[in-house]
Amino acid sequence: MAFLFRSGSIDNSKMDAAASHQIHTPEEAVSRIAYLSSDVIVSVQPSLATDSPFSSHLKRYASRKDKSIVAKNADAVPEIQSVRHNADPLLSVFAPIRSGKLVSVTTTSSILLASISHLYKLANYPVVLHVSLEPRTFADYSVITSIRNSGWTFLHSESLQEAQDIALTAHALAIHTGKGVIHFFAPSTSTSDKPVAPEDPSVVRGLLDIESVRRFQASTISASGIYADDGHVAVSSRVPEPLTDAEHQADTAGGLQAPVSAVASKVTSAGTSVKTSRASESGDSEASVSVATTVETAPPQITSADIYESATRIWRQLEAAVGRSYSAFEYTGPPNATNALFIFGSDAGSFGEVLDSAKPDDVFANAAIITPRLYRPWIGSKLVQVIPKSIKRIAVLEQIQRKTTKWGPTLIDVLTSIKSGPGGVEHIVGYQLGYVDPKVITQALRGIFQNLTSPKPIQNLEVGVREAPEEESQYTTKPSTHETAYNKILQQLFGKRSYVANAIKSQHAGISATISASPEFGFGSLLARKDLRSRFVAEAKAAASSKDFITDAPKNWLAKWALAAEDPSKASEIADDVIARLETDGSPLSQKLLANKALFRKESLWLTGSDAWAYDLGNSGVHHVLASGENVNMLIIDSTPYSEKAAADAERRKKDIGLYAMNFGNVYVASTAVYSSYTQVLQALLEADKFDGPSVVLAYLPYFGEGDSPLTVLQETKKAVEAGYWPLYRWNPDNEKKGEPNFTLDSELIKLELKKFLERDNQLTQLMKKEPKFAASLAQDYGTEVRAQQKRKAKDAYNQLLEGLLGAPLTILYASDNGNAATLAKRLGNRGRARGLKTCVMAMEDYPVEDLAGEENIVFLASTAGQGEFPQNGLAFWDAVKDSTELDLATVNYSVFGLGDSHYWPRKEDKIFYNKPAKDLDRVLANFGGKRLADIGLGDDQDPDGFQTGYQEWEPKIWAALGVDKVEGLPEEPPPVTNEDIKLASNYLRGTIVEGLNDTSTGALSAWDQQLTKFHGTYMQDDRDVRDERKAQGLEPAYSFMIRCRLAGGVATPKQWVQMDDISTSLGNETMKLTTRQTFQFHGVVKGKLKPAMQAINRALMSTIAACGDVNRNVMCSSLPTQSKYHKQVHTVSQKISDHLLPATTAYHEIWLTDDDNKKTQVAGEAVQDFEPLYGPTYLPRKFKITIAIPPHNDTDVYAHDIGLIAIKGKDGNLEGFNILAGGGMGATHNNKKTYPQMGRMFGYCSAEDAHIVCEKIMLVQRDHGDRKNRKHARLKYTIDDMGVDVFRGKVEELWGKKFAEERPFEFKSNVDTFGWQKDENGLNHFTFFIENGRIEDTPDFRMKTGLREIAQLGKGEFRLTGNQHLILSNIADEDLPAIKELMKSYKLDNLQFSGLRLSSSACVAFPTCGLAMAESERYLPVLISKLESCLEENGLRQDSIVMRMTGCPNGCARPWLAEVAFVGKAYGAYNMYLGGGYHGQRLNKLYRSSIKEDEILEIMKPLLKQYALERLEGERFGDFCIRAGIIKATTDGRNFHDNIMFQVAEEGSDEE
Ligand code: SF4
């Protein structure tokens, strides 16, 4: 039999029986009601990545776009604002509630105490707080009693059904009374409830009183802020109607007729006499009225009586609708009971069950239970009314874990409400209710009643145990795994010296996680720690002269230590020695000192916190620390993603802690971001530690969820830093003493607030004086909306230009991906002008959309990006046009031309992507009433002349439509400028590079110079991660330069390694890339640092000349760690070829290596005429690559280069000569069958002495016969294929004057590296490191860069870069091994526990720097491999080497076409997949699938790997297997690379159907 109000006994018959979905938890019930009844729901979550029991439901409704009942607009979906529990959630309530939105909050009780100040201010608004009490297993009601006087109405529910009904009551009551309502419940009480039907929306609508809702929504409350009382008073939505006499009598008469049984108990004593006048309540001596309502002064205020009456009304209405009744106090039990339990806790149901089944002689037989439903306002008179006259004794059970007053608050409530004395209630006894195990409930009840019924009951007895079985709360302040990065750095920097007050694992007995994570707590414990140390130092000093040691050593060492105790580094140095002596000594005094041995170090004291400290509550704690002046350090991690910062509510007033701290003057402040600059983080932490006073290091680490990949964190960080939202800076008040500016800016841009501060503080002027080059970047600041103004200016300038010209206007807008649409548009503009039209040509993104409706004639040229998307520079325009609701183009004539590739997306369902942007635009413009000048024109790359075919048809139609098609005497158009022209006009690669470098107004170089600098080994790039963000800020792209060194054969000295490392840190982006051509590449070198970087490279005795450009590039050579002598001989040849083919121009030295003062050297002008004996003024038609492989290792992919030399060893073990291959090459263009990768063809053998001459002659034949018209057809491979191998070889032999000999036999076994230690023939040691994709960088988890640097600083051996982007530490003598091995171990550099697949993988750079990248590569391949590794494991393939490569585009930098399996970027997130390459690089692969994404890649790879594991033959390689198993056809020559593609045949077949 169920007792009380268990849901099992509820009659649901009136609910919508058809409702299929049942509600299972109270949180779900509450969420649904809150969703239906609110405009805004503040959903408090453990973290943004972890849902609360409410938020998962709320998000579900929102994702289904379920409608709210109260929404003004019928289609409106309530807004869900997710807020972290420790980020001052109630701050989010103010703005919406004051603007007339109904707000509810779903939360646990953990936020309540900290939010008291807000609660007082929000009490007079109709906000509803649904609170599930924590801890979940055993709720603590003291949180509710602590805030009971905050002026809110409190409603309590116990079962699942009640949670739903009372939630609804709460919303209705808030609307009716205009006051805040807190609905609280302990979720554990309904765990065994049966699911309930969802409340019928019509019932909800009826109770909410939509008229009142609309009245509230129509009002806005003006308030200046959230820190002062805004004086708002709650106003009832309606004048309470007096109850009818009948109702009145029913109440007074029936009130005491308590039911005799549980079932009958459903008829409760609800709504006994309701008095509508305030006077009657306040004058009622029997009742106490909640403080909340008594503080209200000004009319028309809501009284306790009003609230009570409204609640009663709502319950009556609810009862009529659903048959369930509720009242302010629920009395359940026999009408003649003498004993009753008043329970304020979660166990009422369990107690009820025991009472229900009590035997007649049980001490608790016939007892009743009373529970509060309307807890506040507490209407004492109503309590009196529900209690039968027969009751003599009441036990008040309060479930309060931490008691702060002698008498429980509920006991006091009851005592003040009920007069005890003879004839009435005789005893009211308070109990503290702890956790009662269900098995001992009877026993507990017996104890309670025995005391209650004794003649002198004892007050304040404890029932049950204090500690409930523990369940870990979700609402801890446990930092995300992302955030451990900074803690790791602290450990790395300060090691044993670091002391973090609130470290993740530290536990503080009896202190909740929330409290121990507060700045005040941490600060207190750091002070205690400091205090402890000063006492310890005194003790240790005293011990230095003590006689209590057994040995002498401790005294001497302690004396020595005492002198250095306050010096962090010296104290640490001596600490270990002192400790060792004390340990040996073993005396009690030694033991005593050793108990605190950590204190022998002068600790670096840290307090770590989150951006929760940026909100009011945390911020006051931060203030304490800063104001204290104490030498403690704070590390505050901000994890709000940049892309969400705009969504943040302005009212939440997140404080800028950095700015706040700088205003203090005596605080060290740094703003850092580990994913932007690792070095800057280190520097800041070290400076903070050193600073004698408070320090704040702000650390940015944005993430959306726990599962975010580091790539997401990196991209978010970069956007924030690059846009100036999160500037990197350091503020050191100590600098002033040295005459230095306090402020150091470590990133490029700052935000306005910061700039203002600096201006005020005079720091800006100081800084600019010291670093004039900073002026430009400091002058720019984040937050100025300049973009719109820029557009306006550009357009106005155009209009001015056109003024006075005759002829019809024609505006030409383009959106261009690779420049074709832009070129076409500009040419169209020129031709239009020649025909007398007033033409204006702009990129769509530069065009002010508001001008569109005013155009007369406008044409658009749009190419196709990604998956049928607009190119970047057309996206914003397209978004504005398509989303416009008021564009009227009735007077506009337009036409659209699109550029696309009808075969780019081979799948039938993807055909829609072909020229989609142009088609969409054409359609939308017509919908807005535009008139077509000409039908849409479509350019298709597959047409005989590419897009030109379609264009030739379209353009004349435009002229005809504008009436200028028959113009006579048009001038001849100049041919487009080609790379050949640029080279010719450059005066041997000079161009205007010097002028460009001196121009500080832009970070870029001119387009021509960009082509020329390639020959000097540097490319201009821009950071694609932040392109959009910078554009939005009105900034030019984040330009920087990639610099590639020239390092024949990839051999560097340790000193060179250190020098390269320095360059990357001080002039680049703190990382280095070891390239597939065995050299160093730096990224992120800004223009101003380009020359210093070139000079530094030169000082390292390296060069960058001819590392890129149409010349012979870096010459490669197998690394061969096992035969050093032989390697040396072959390596010498590679150097010789490299030197021999070097361009002769002196421009390189003039531009990069002269001092600014050295005016002697002529740079510009025509005075210096160089002579290029090998290249001539136009150099080569295209890049030229040479490599040497030493069999059996094909680690340099000898078949993939213009010239491949295969070293042939003589019988004496020395190098004898080379087999020469020519005409290999990787670059291709997607879907362009005229382009293909090709393998080098065998030309024959030559001696070692002739090798460089042979290379020269091959290069010269290519120089003279290569295609200089079409760069896509200019590589040597096409020249040889067009000419035929024999003819080409003949020409080489003619120039050489000798003939190639018969090729010599050789054998390759693999093209991957052999990792780990190997010994060579001289007994020297070589270690091959695994450097994933060649990226040398430090991360908090793996400090590879620092480790390698330290090894290099030992100055031993040499560093060989491999063609697979790995690194060999070579020529290490046995005696040097121990030191090196130790370093390797400490930096985890000896770890080779990777899968064979990972070890054999390689990827090109691609995003964010490579301008050609269509998809991620280097940053994504490791992620993809991780996703395949479990499958490798399952199939026993973990150790198997499978060559897998990835590139971001078909240019093929990582030589993907030779891999057994390859992925080549097609669009962001989509790749073409290739299979069947030869394991030792001897065979090209073939296209297997086109444009597939990760899920498809995994779907294909997993079964394929399984099949390979099961069906492979002994020793059979994956690529070979794919061919034998018929999965792919073999590519036998580059010219059949595009043939026999199996899946396309099938696709085309299906097309025909
Ligand atoms: S393959 Fe393409 S994306 Fe990758 S680095 Fe080379 S050019 Fe860039």
Among 1405, 1419, 1463, 1472, residue to substitute to test ligand 1 (most atoms within 8 Å of Cβ): 1405
For the segment 622-648, the average pLDDT, to the nearest whole number, is 83
Q: How far is CA 1200 from CA 701, 911, 1196, 1197, 1458, in A?
A: 42, 34, 9, 6, 8
Q: Is the pLDDT of residue 259 over 60?
A: no
Q: Report the nearest atom of ligand 1 relative to the CA of 1405.
A: 5
- CA trace torsion 1313, 1318, 1321, 1323 (10° rounding): 150
Catalytic residue, from 278, 382, 916, 1185: name it. Answer: 1185
Catalytic residue, from 101, 148, 382, 1044: name it. Answer: 1044
| pLDDT one-digit tens code per residue, 746-803 | 887 777 778 777 877 777 676 666 665 555 555 455 555 566 777 777 778 777 777 7
Q: By the 8 A CB rule, do 1097 and 1047 touch?
A: no
> Per-residue confidence at 137, pLDDT binned at 50, 70, 90?
confident
> Per-residue confidence at 510, pLDDT binned at 50, 70, 90?
low
CA of 1083 to the centre of ligand 1 (A): 14
Q: Is the pLDDT of residue 580 over 90?
A: yes
Residue 721 and residue 673: Cα distance in Å, rounded?
8
Q: Report the nearest atom of ligand 1 relative to the CA of 1448.
A: 3
For the segment 1314-1325, the average pLDDT, to the nearest whole number, is 95
1065 compared with 21, residue with greater pLDDT = 1065
**Is 439 designated active site?**
no
> Per-residue confidence at 254, pLDDT binned at 50, 70, 90?
very low
Residue 631 and residue 653: Cα distance in Å, rounded?
28
Which residues share a beta bridge with 368?
Answer: 340
Q: Which region among 120-124, 245-249, 466-470, 738-742 has the lowest average model confidence (pLDDT)? A: 245-249
Q: Which region among 536-550, 606-620, 1151-1165 has the lowest average model confidence (pLDDT)? A: 1151-1165
| Residue that is written with structure tokens 């029991």 in the block | 53
For the segment 1379-1396, the average pLDDT, to the nearest whole number, is 96
**Is 1246 designated active site?**
no
**Is 1185 designated active site?**
yes
Looking at mean pLDDT, say which of 132-141, 735-744, 1030-1039, 1456-1465 comes out highest.
1456-1465
| Residue that is written with structure tokens 């159907």 in the block | 1553
E-only strand ranges, 847-892: 857-863
Residues flanking ligand 1, CB < 6 Å: 1404-1406, 1410, 1412-1413, 1417, 1447-1449, 1451-1453
Note the pLDDT of residue 843: 93
E-only strand ranges, 179-317: 181-185
For the chain, what percent of residues have pLDDT higher than 90? 60
> Per-residue confidence at 486, pLDDT binned at 50, 70, 90?
confident
Q: How far is CA 582 from CA 17, 551, 768, 1412, in A?
A: 79, 9, 55, 64
Residue 340 and residue 1157: Cα distance in Å, rounded?
100
For the segment 161-165, the average pLDDT, to the nearest whole number, is 96
DSSP string, 1394-1444: --HHHHTEEE---TTT-TT-SS--TTTHHHHHHHHHHHHHHTT-TT----E
Which residues share a beta bridge with 332?
Answer: 369
> Per-residue confidence at 280, pLDDT binned at 50, 70, 90?
very low
Q: Report the nearest atom of ligand 1 relative to the CA of 1456.
A: 1
Which residues share a beta bridge with 843?
Answer: 814
Among 1024, 1404, 1468, residue to substitute to test ligand 1 (most atoms within 8 Å of Cβ): 1404
Note the pLDDT of residue 811: 95
Q: Report the nearest atom of ligand 1 relative to the CA of 1403.
A: 4
> Per-residue confidence at 269, pLDDT binned at 50, 70, 90?
very low
Q: Is the pLDDT of residue 11 over 50?
A: no
Residue 1013 and residue 993: Cα distance in Å, rounded?
8
Q: Nearest C-alpha to atom 6 of ligand 1 is from which residue? A: 1453
Note the pLDDT of residue 250: 41
Q: Report the nearest atom of ligand 1 relative to the CA of 1410.
A: 8
Cα-flanking dihedrals φ and ψ of residue 849, to 5°? Answer: -60, -30
Tally of residues, the chain: 1553
Catalytic residue, from 1113, 1182, 1419, 1517: name it. Answer: 1113
E-only strand ranges, 1157-1235: 1186-1189, 1203-1209, 1215-1222
Note the pLDDT of residue 856: 94
Catalytic residue, from 1255, 1431, 1449, 1522: name it. Answer: 1449
Alpha helices in 428-506 (DSSP H): 441-453, 484-494
Looking at mean pLDDT, say which of 91-95, 176-180, 490-494, 1324-1328 comes out highest.
1324-1328
**Is 652 designated active site?**
no
pTM here?
Answer: 0.77
Catalytic residue, from 1404, 1431, 1483, 1486: name it. Answer: 1404
Q: Is the pLDDT of residue 271 over 70?
A: no
User: Is the preceding peptide bond at 956 cis, omega within 30 degrees of 0?
Assistant: no
**Is 840 designated active site?**
no
Q: How far is CA 191 from CA 188, 194, 369, 653, 1171, in A?
A: 5, 9, 21, 39, 89
Q: Is the pLDDT of residue 231 over 50?
A: yes
CA of 1465 to the centre of ligand 1 (A): 9
Note the pLDDT of residue 234: 73
Residue 1055 and residue 1078: Cα distance in Å, rounded?
17
> Per-residue confidence at 512, pLDDT binned at 50, 70, 90?
low
**Is 1183 designated active site?**
yes
**Is 645 designated active site?**
no
CA of 1019 to the centre of ligand 1 (A): 13
**Is 1449 designated active site?**
yes
CB within 8 Å of 849: residues ≥ 6 apart: 877, 880, 881, 884
1218 compared with 21, residue with greater pLDDT = 1218
Single out the residue of 1374, 1253, 1387 nearest to residue 1319, CA to CA: 1374
Catalytic residue, from 1246, 1431, 1453, 1522: name it. Answer: 1453
Note the pLDDT of residue 1544: 52
For the chain, what percent of residues have pLDDT higher than 70? 88
| pLDDT one-digit tens code per residue, 1241-1293 | 999 999 999 999 999 999 999 999 999 989 999 999 999 999 999 999 999 99
What is the C-alpha end-to-end distance of the chain, expressed in Å?
Answer: 69
| pLDDT one-digit tens code per residue, 1330-1379 | 999 999 999 988 999 999 999 999 999 999 999 999 999 999 999 999 99
CB within 8 Å of 518: residues ≥ 6 apart: 618, 621
467 compared with 388, residue with greater pLDDT = 388
Give the tokens for residue 153: 């109405």
Task: Supply the mean pLDDT for the chain.
Answer: 86
Q: Which region among 537-541, 607-611, 766-770, 1377-1381 has the lowest average model confidence (pLDDT)? A: 766-770
Residue 1447 and residue 1469: Cα distance in Å, rounded?
12
Three-state SS annotation for 1036-1084: CCCEEEEEECECHHHEECHHHHHHHHHHHHHCCCCCEEECCCCCEEEEE
Note the pLDDT of residue 244: 43
Q: What angle do CA 517, 521, 527 make, to 5 degrees?
A: 130
Note the pLDDT of residue 514: 65
CA of 1120 to the centre of ligand 1 (A): 27
Q: Report the nearest atom of ligand 1 relative to the CA of 1454.
A: 1
Q: Is 1356 helix (H, G, I), strand (E, B) or coil?
A: coil
CA of 709 to the centre of ligand 1 (A): 22
Looking at mean pLDDT, say which of 37-51, 218-232, 783-797, 1083-1097 comes out highest.
1083-1097
Q: Is the pLDDT of residue 285 over 70?
A: no
